[in-house]
């Protein structure tokens, strides 16, 4: 039975409970000689921002996982000009989050961010414990996202894309967002997708990655497939993943943005893959 708070103090907040839980987990790990909790770095995809990964980050933290969420330049709330949005700038931003931890991380990239995490792993393979491609482009050396997208005959993204050459951006019309990105989203989540939408810088999409077997190739990789995906089709996901050796995989019966439509399923998949 709950009793009134008669001491003038406020009830414990979710943040306080989470901090207390993390402290207990850390103490238990130290006591029993266990490894510290994994540090997961989440990287969003195109036309989205760090906001989209918030529900997954919150659940992972509550379960004791250390999480950083990257906001790529010219995305979300970041005010970097589109002209300064490059693949190198994206990789540098990921590096800031990884370097802040000081230990190897699990690097999770959604969609376009598969290109980014691949290039980062090439740059600093010793700092990445595992690459997780979440409905993501998984390139080979010399490929750009554009190269891969052109091979995806089942994607709805290309037909919906409107190129603004003068601005250097690509637009997905508001009435196409649900079909392309989140056909299984609730009405309120779709509202968030629309209200947080920003046009996508095109230069990084056309930039090829430079990958080697000695660096990127040495980092373990896992893939989270999304079978109802209208942006990066399931068929393309399978082809890309089939070109590398995977340490593990998970399959979600969702659209392209499961962190919006089914965040608990994404959390379960990630926890399975990083064990």
**Can you list the residues of the chain whose pLDDT is less than 70?**
1-36
In the prediction, which pLDDT does 143 show? Answer: 98
In the prediction, which pLDDT does 28 show? Answer: 43
Record the pTM: 0.87
In the prediction, which pLDDT does 2 show? Answer: 32
In the prediction, which pLDDT does 275 show? Answer: 85
**Tens digits of per-residue pLDDT, 177-225?**
999 999 999 999 999 999 999 999 999 999 999 999 999 999 999 999 9
In the prediction, which pLDDT does 254 show? Answer: 98
Nearest to 257 by CA among 17, 100, 55, 82: 55
Dihedral class, residue 211 (left if φ above 0, else alpha if ψ from -120 to 50, else beta): beta
**Tens digits of per-residue pLDDT, 22-32?**
444 444 443 34
Q: Is 140 exposed, middle or buried (0-12, 13-18, 19+ CB in 10 A)?
A: middle
For the chain, domains (ranges, CATH) are 35-274 (3.40.50.1820)
In the prediction, which pLDDT does 35 show? Answer: 54
């Amino acid at each position: 039975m709950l009793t009134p708070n008669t001491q003038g103090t406020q009830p414990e907040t979710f943040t306080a409970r989470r901090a207390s839980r993390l402290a207990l987990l850390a103490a238990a790990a130290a006591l029993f000689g266990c490894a510290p909790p994994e540090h997961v770095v989440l990287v969003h995809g195109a036309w989205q921002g760090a906001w989209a990964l918030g529900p997954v980050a919150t659940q992972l933290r509550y379960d004791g996982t250390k999480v950083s969420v990257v906001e790529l330049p010219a995305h979300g709330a970041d005010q970097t000009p589109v002209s300064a949005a490059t693949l190198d700038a994206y990789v540098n931003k990921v590096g800031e989050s990884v370097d802040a931890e000081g230990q190897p991380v699990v690097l999770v990239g959604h969609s376009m961010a598969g290109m980014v995490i691949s290039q980062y792993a090439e740059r600093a393979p010793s700092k990445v414990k595992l690459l997780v491609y979440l409905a993501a482009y998984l390139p080979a050396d010399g490929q750009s996202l554009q190269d891969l997208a052109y091979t995806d005959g089942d994607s709805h993204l290309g037909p919906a894309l409107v190129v603004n050459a003068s601005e250097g951006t690509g637009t997905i019309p508001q009435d196409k967002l649900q079909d392309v990105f989140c056909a299984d989203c609730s009405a309120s989540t779709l509202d968030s997708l629309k209200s947080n939408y920003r046009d996508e810088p095109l230069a990084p999409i056309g930039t090829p990655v430079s990958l080697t077997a000695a660096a990127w190739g040495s980092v373990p990789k896992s893939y989270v497939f999304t079978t109802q995906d209208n942006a990066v089709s399931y068929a393309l996901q399978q082809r890309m993943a089939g070109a590398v050796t995977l340490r593990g995989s998970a399959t979600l019966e969702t659209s392209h943005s499961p962190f919006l439509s089914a965040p608990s399923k994404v959390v379960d998949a990630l926890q399975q893959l990083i064990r």
